[in-house]
Each structure stands twice: as structure tokens, then as C-alpha cells.
Homo-oligomer: A and B are copies of this chain.
Amino acid sequence: MSSTTEPDGPPPTTPLASASLASTQDDRDLLLYESRLERPIRVKAPELERSGRLRHLIFSGQLTVDLLEELGSVADVIRQLSRHRSGQDFLINLLHHKRAMLYFTQPSTRTFLSFMAACQILGITCNEVRNPQTSSETKGETRFDSIRMFSSYFDLIIMRSPIARLAESCAYLMNDLERSGNRSVPIVNAGSGADEHPTQALLDIYTLQRTFQFEGSTDSSLSTRFEELQKLPGCDGLTKGLANKTYGFCGDIGRGRTVRSLAMLLANYENVRLVFIAPDHPKLVMRDDLRQRLLAKNVTIHELSSFETLLDGKPVIEQLDALYMTRVQKEHDTPEDADCFAKIDFSRYCLSKNLVSRMRPYAPILHPFPRDQHSGEIPPEIDNDDRAMYFRQARNGMWIRSALLAHVFDADGQILRYFRNEFQK
């Protein structure tokens, strides 16, 4: 389950600390890990595993195609079990002896609640610290001492932090403790700094997996819809699964870490094309480091500035197998950006009923949410369209996070066995 061989050094991000600034123990702690952080992911990924299983989830780069398939299957089983009282009872007792700490020093209601629900499905008891400053930190406690405190009381730390790669450093701290015979617990990265949010990528992929099974529960038979779709003009090459598809990304490509992670994961599938549609502004178009990484994976990429630009001779909006919309992350705007952005017509990067009507009949519309009512990148009149997947995407996030937690606690095998024995006999 080791990662693939892309040139995957760390993205250019604010370093945790630099030597000259290491005046506090917090700084010195992070400096200690600096050299480990700089290794390529193919070297680091195995350190985050135990017996071919994730111990910590820190990077989306740890999510191989095989692992994504495996987690998706477990999530599918969990949601099926959850439709029956006996299945719910099985799940709620599965990990009721485990206690999780949700350490969210960067606010995110949606991710937070999704993880809460994911834990609760499996019976895991949740605890939280959400203030950027815990009372201990105001008394001079280091971040690492706080993390060790959490690991004393709880069995899992799910963390979200504005500090780039703090989650990664904490995983190494846990590994060091394990090696010296001390208590150590898994770390799950729920968003760190500007670069990584692996469980968002996980839920995006899971939503695509679900969609491209072409097995909507409203179908008359499980195969009908797919066969009908293949008969439509332009859809004759349609296949099941994530391979052989054209994926569109629209909006704030440059600053959205979800685009970044999802694009990298999609590049691992066979024969995919990635299309990026963004206003022509250096902060909003793809960052060069992502471009280089994608090219190194031999994936075809197109960078466009309109839904109407031609691709294979037709407007790109009509050619996409899936469209990933994003919010313009205004909270990162500088005053200069604001001036510059005022001249951009962002409405050209918003969906409309008309645009959606021209999309392929099966092409799902995704959005990491929240969407912005003021920008209106997805107006609510589209919500009732069958292709609007963004609300189901949220619920998918809950199921796939449950699957991830079951995997980390090595309880996925039990789930699959129970399902086979009780529901499939």
C-alpha cells in the first residue's frame, strides 16, 4: 500500500519554524521533525502504516487506488447495515470502548460534525477541544505536551490546525513514543494549513465511486440505467468506475486544497483527463507545483477560462463526465487581490440551469461545501436536479469517514464478516 513514484516533495508552504526563530520549545519541537517532513512521500508513507494498514492518515497521497476501493466497499456496507436496527446495534457496539479527541483549532463546523457522526455510528465516544488556545497553552504548555495529554486520555486524535504539517509532526511524535514503549495513538488529519485535507479527497472519490457504479436506487433494475446511458449520443464509450473519464474543476483552482488533493488522486486512475476552469489570474489558476506533479503522472490536463471553450470540438461544459465546483476563498484575499478581483466577472464561473441542462445526463456536480450564497457558484434552483450530488456528498463523507475509522481500528474485517453472515446468507 505504499505510495506511487511521483516527484512528491512537500508543496511550497510556510515552514513550521525556521532555525533562527526557534526561541520556544514549541519551535524547537517542530524543528526536530523538519528533516523528516522534507522527505518524499514514498519514503514517509510506510512510516504511517502498520502491517499494510493505515496507522495515521496525514496525506491524500497515502490513498492508493486499492485502498480507496477497499474503504469504499466498507462504507457501502456500513450504510447498508445502518438501514436495519440489527445492523445499527452491531455498529454502535463495535467500538464503544474507544474514545476520540477532535482537536480542531481551525474552525470547521461541517468537517467537525461529519467526524462526530462518523464516530457515533461506530459507538466511538467523542471529546473536543476547539479553542485555538486551550487553557493549558496559556499556562505555557507546548503543543506536543497537549498532544501527549490527549493521547493519555483518548484512543484516537482527529486534528485540524492552521499550522501546516502539524498533523504530520504529531504522527512522528506518536511513532517515536511507540518505539520507546510509551502510549501512542493514531492521528487523523482533518485539515492542516493550506496543503492537506485527505478525508475531503476521500469523500470526493467515494462520491464519484458511488455515481459511476450507475446503480441509483430509483432504477427499475440495477443495470438498466447504465445500459440506457450508453445508447445516448456521445456516451457510447461510457464505462463504470473512475477510469476513462474527463473531470472538470471550476472556480478557485489556485487556493483550494480540495481541488489539489482530488486532482492528484484522480491522476492515479487509467485514462483520465483533468480540465481546470478558472479566471485568468495568477492566484486563481493552478499553481505550478501541482501542474508539474500532474504532468509527472502523465495525466492530460487542460487549463481553460470558460465553460464555453471547445474541447474535442464542443463546449467543455457538454463534455465533462463530472464537474467539481468550488467557492472563491475570499478569506485569503489580500487588499491587492480585492482590487484585482473586482475586475473579474465571476458570474462566468457560476452554474445556471441553462448550463446544467447542457451537461451530460449522468454527470455529477460536486462541491466541497459550504457554497457561498453571495457568489452564487451553485444557485439553489439546481438543487433538485438529479445531477446535484453536493448534499449526498456530505452524507457520503460521514459514511466514508466511518469506514476510515473502522480501518484504523482494524474493525473493518469484523464489519464485512458480520454483513456476510447476517445479511447475505
Contacts and interface: CB of A to CB of B under 8 A. Distances in A.
Given A139-B327, A370-B141, A153 B395 contact: yes
A331 interface: yes
A357 B133 CA distance: 35
B395 A145 contact: no
Given A24-B373, A141-B370, A149-B394, A97 B88 contact: yes
A136 B110 contact: yes
A243 interface: no
Interface residues of A, number: 64
Interface string A137-157: 101111011101110111000
A273 to B, nearest CB: 30
B117 A372 contact: no
A55 B82 CA distance: 21
A85 B97 contact: yes
Contacts of A372: 139-141
A211 interface: no
B120 A218 contact: no
Contacts of A129: 109, 113
A154 B141 CA distance: 33
A107 interface: yes
Contact of A150 (B91, B113, B182): B113
B152 A371 contact: no
A2 to B, nearest CB: 30
Contacts of A134: 109
Interface stretch (A3-11, A222-230, A374-382): A374-382
A92 B374 CA distance: 44
A417 to B, nearest CB: 16
Contacts of A188: none
B120 A99 contact: yes
Interface in A352-402: 369-376, 380, 384, 391, 394-395, 398
B145 A370 contact: yes
B107 A96 contact: no
A25 interface: yes
A153 B109 contact: no
A135 interface: yes
A135 B373 CA distance: 14
Contacts of A139: 327, 331, 370, 372
A140 B370 contact: yes
Nearest to A93: B89
A76 interface: no
Nearest to A113: B153
Interface string A175-188: 00000111100000
A181 B384 CA distance: 10
A26 interface: yes
B92 A373 contact: no
A116 interface: yes
Nearest to A142: B373
A127 interface: yes
Given A108-B135, A141-B371, 19 more contacts: A24-B374, A25-B373, A89-B96, A89-B97, A92-B97, A99-B117, A109-B134, A113-B127, A113-B129, A113-B153, A114-B153, A120-B125, A136-B370, A139-B327, A145-B369, A145-B373, A148-B391, A149-B369, A152-B391
21 contacts: A26-B373, A85-B97, A91-B97, A99-B117, A107-B135, A108-B135, A109-B134, A109-B149, A110-B136, A113-B153, A116-B127, A139-B331, A140-B374, A141-B372, A145-B370, A148-B391, A148-B394, A149-B369, A149-B394, A152-B391, A182-B391
